[in-house]
Amino acid sequence: MKILITGGTSATALKLLKAFTGHQVVLADYGEVPAFSSAAYRMISLGAKNEDTLAHTLLNYCLDENVEAILPLHHFELVPVAKSAVLFKEFDIEVLLPNHAALAQYSNLGKTENWAVFNQGETIFMTQPNEMLVHKAQTNQLSGAYYFDATDQEPNLSLITI
């Protein structure tokens, strides 16, 4: 799978690379980005940030780069991309976010050491095994990158953003 991760110049984006070993990763960010490529990823610039056309800009870059999934990390991208998920899907691009109506429920936990990445309920990566979280992800068909608490109770989730 080829995936585009926004916020590509952040430490958070680099941390998430662990979840996508064996996949092609394009790290993208607004403004100037280092002209750097490695075996694990390639970096590109998304140009100047324009919040009025975010989803359209991201879709164009996804199409130009032939990506199959997008993981937006900037907090200002979440709503526009979630609202446009159907459009991305029409071009066979998975949006790794919960649906727009569910976004608010995944913004309350904050950072923890534990995190996981899901695509339509399938666990792509998890820092610490948690069967209750796997079940919750499958039941809710979750997509996205989340911090989670490691309690024995119902796991709380928070979208990873920068």
* Span 27-33, average pLDDT: 94
pLDDT of residue 108: 66
CA dihedral of 102, 103, 104, 108, whole degrees rounded to 10: 120
- d(Cα 55, Cα 6) in Å, to the nearest integer? 12
pLDDT of residue 153: 74
pLDDT digits (tens, 9 = 90+) for 64-110: 999 999 999 999 999 999 999 999 999 999 999 999 988 888 876 56
User: Token match 């095994």: residue?
Assistant: 129
pLDDT of residue 152: 62
pLDDT of residue 149: 84
The kind and range of the H/E element at 59 are helix 54-65
The kind and range of the H/E element at 62 are helix 54-65
pLDDT of residue 105: 85
Distances in Å between the alpha carbon of 50 and those of 3, 24, 83, 89?
22, 26, 17, 22
Higher per-residue pLDDT: 107 or 122: 122
pLDDT of residue 42: 93
- d(Cα 50, Cα 21) in Å, to the nearest integer? 31
pLDDT digits (tens, 9 = 90+) for 134-157: 999 999 999 999 999 877 677 888
pLDDT digits (tens, 9 = 90+) for 7-23: 999 999 999 999 999 99
What average pLDDT does the chain have? 91
Q: Where are the domains of the chain?
A: 2-159
Instruction: Tell me if 65 sits within 8 A of 37, measured CB to CB.
Output: no
DSSP 50: -
CATH of 2-159, one of 3.20.20.60, 3.40.50.20, 3.40.190.80, 3.10.20.30: 3.40.50.20
pLDDT of residue 26: 96
pTM over 0.85: yes
pLDDT of residue 48: 94
